[in-house]
């Protein structure tokens, strides 16, 4: 059987997704290849309209004029393993509006975080119920709400109830800065009673108020911290994913930030009855500029700090998700970095073990270390 080029975004046996973003419909979140133009009403698209465009892109991907050339997410697969079918994942990032202005965010840099958006037009409940009506969702599909800040969206509680009724195997994921306390306080009781999976992915990026204000633009470190801990204690999420984006100048790779972050992870892990995860990543500005053809390694200082986060947080049972843009299995440099981070734990464990149990000769003495206690006997 012939092999064809494909990527996880298009292949419904994997991620098979639809990206509803900023007024248009795209095939992926990387080069954002447009399937349906800006101004598309997300509550009016037909099944055929969407799937014909996805299949058209698959044909183009395998032609001389492929818009996906050199994309590091593309690979070859047997045709029988390719399915441009129902959606496994929906990315819903309809607006760019946000209450923060992070230094690494292109919408903050362009000022688009301040834009007003049409809350009725982008009511998430209306969109999900339409996708259900056209029968394009797999039973166990996932939906990611992002933006901008997704807590600004209308229709979230209704969506959770709808999904609980019609898609009990589905997952809703929030990519939120988790600082909009009023909205979060109203959402938590709905999440406590959910019958679907709900995940929170939130970027922390530091461990002090000062750094948070510098990186995220507002003094909301404690607000974010309290909200996450409230959600953890309330059993509001099946997985709380705490992300650390290292800046290229390593200004957030110092001890205060790393130790503060590890402390927060430990507190969340203790309070959260479900999964607590960590994602390590780097600023993606340059990666986006290269059109996803070139990913750089994190600077040495950041990589060393990432190893410390990994050692300390995996030791208390946190999961590590290699889902970053720069630190993921999708690229060569990503795989190298993951290997370095994973190996750092083995090196540390070996050194620690040697410190606890070892027999050596030092300065004409036999030195035994048992359970960390040192016994020294003069050699005969
Ligand atoms: S640009 Fe890359 S991620 Fe997007 S559809 Fe093409 S291969 Fe997939
Ligand atoms: S929280 Fe997200 S959307 Fe808001 S400014 Fe930061 S990166 Fe941009």
* 148 pocket-lining for ligand 2 (C-beta < 6 Å): yes
Task: Give per-residue pLDDT as tens, 95-109.
Answer: 999 999 999 999 999
The residue ranking higher by pLDDT, 358 or 274, is 274
Alpha-helical segments (H) within the chain: 47-61, 106-110, 124-133, 156-166, 181-192, 209-216, 221-233, 255-271, 285-289, 300-315, 332-356
Task: Give per-residue pLDDT as tens, 336-372.
Answer: 999 999 999 765 554 566 666 666 655 455 667 666 6
- Residue spans of the domains in the chain: they are 204-380
Q: What is the pLDDT at residue 352?
A: 62
Give the confidence band of 286 by pLDDT, cuts at 50, 70, 90. confident
- The whole-angstrom distance between residue 222's C-alpha and the CA centroid of its chain comes to 22
pTM of the model: 0.87
Dihedrals φ, ψ of 97, to 5°? Answer: -70, 140
Q: What is the pLDDT at residue 357?
A: 67
Residue 239 CA to ligand 1 center (angstroms) comes to 28
Task: Give per-residue pLDDT as tens, 3-37.
Answer: 999 999 999 999 899 999 988 999 998 888 899 98
Q: Assess contact for 238 and 290: CB atoms under 8 A.
A: no
Residue 214 CA to ligand 1 center (angstroms) comes to 34
**Residue 355: CB atoms within 10 Å:** 11
Q: What is the pLDDT at residue 326?
A: 85
To test the pocket of ligand 1, the residue of 6, 10, 62 to mutate (highest count of ligand atoms within 8 Å of its CB) is 10
Dihedrals φ, ψ of 374, to 5°? Answer: -95, 125
* 68 pocket-lining for ligand 1 (C-beta < 6 Å): yes
Q: What is the pLDDT at residue 205?
A: 98
Q: What is the DSSP string of 109-170?
A: HHTGGG----TTTT-HHHHHHHHHHTT-EEEEEEEEE-SS-GGG-S-HHHHHHHHHHH-TT-
Q: What percent of the chain has pLDDT over 90?
A: 76
Q: What is the pLDDT at residue 347?
A: 58
């Amino acid at each position: 059987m012939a092999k064809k080029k494909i990527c996880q975004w298009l292949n419904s046996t994997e991620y098979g997704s639809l990206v509803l973003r900023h007024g248009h419909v795209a095939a992926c979140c990387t080069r954002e290849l447009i399937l349906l133009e800006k101004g598309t009403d997300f509550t009016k698209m037909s099944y055929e309209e969407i799937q014909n465009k996805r299949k058209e892109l698959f044909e183009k991907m395998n032609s001389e004029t492929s818009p996906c050339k050199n994309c590091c997410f593309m690979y070859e697969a047997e045709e029988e393993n390719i399915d441009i079918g129902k959606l496994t994942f929906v990315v819903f990032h309809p607006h760019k509006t946000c209450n923060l202005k992070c230094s690494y965010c292109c919408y903050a840099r362009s000022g688009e975080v301040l834009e007003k958006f049409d809350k009725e037009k982008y009511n998430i409940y209306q969109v999900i119920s339409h996708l259900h009506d056209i029968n394009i969702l797999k039973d166990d599909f996932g939906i990611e709400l992002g933006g901008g800040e997704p807590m600004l969206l209308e229709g979230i509680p209704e969506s959770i109830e709808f999904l609980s009724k019609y898609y009990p195997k589905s997952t809703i994921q929030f990519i939120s800065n988790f600082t909009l306390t009023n909205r979060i306080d109203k959402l938590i009781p709905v999440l406590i009673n959910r019958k679907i999976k709900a995940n929170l992915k939130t970027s922390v990026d530091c461990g002090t108020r000062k750094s948070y204000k510098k990186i995220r633009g507002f003094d909301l470190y404690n607000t974010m911290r309290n909200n996450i801990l409230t959600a953890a204690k309330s059993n509001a999420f099946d997985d709380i994913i705490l992300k650390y984006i290292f800046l290229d100048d390593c200004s957030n790779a110092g001890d205060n930030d790393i130790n503060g972050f590890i402390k927060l992870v430990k507190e969340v892990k203790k309070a959260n009855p479900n999964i607590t995860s960590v994602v390590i990543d780097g600023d993606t500005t340059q990666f986006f500029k290269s059109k996803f053809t070139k990913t750089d390694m994190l600077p040495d200082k950041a990589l060393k700090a990432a190893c410390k986060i990994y050692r300390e947080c995996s030791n208390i049972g946190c999961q590590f998700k290699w889902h970053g843009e720069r630190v993921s299995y999708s690229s060569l440099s990503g795989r190298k970095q993951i290997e370095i981070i994973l190996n750092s734990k083995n090196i540390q464990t070996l050194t620690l073990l040697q410190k606890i149990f070892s027999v050596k000769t030092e300065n004409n003495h036999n030195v035994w270390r048992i359970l960390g206690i040192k016994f020294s006997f003069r050699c005969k």
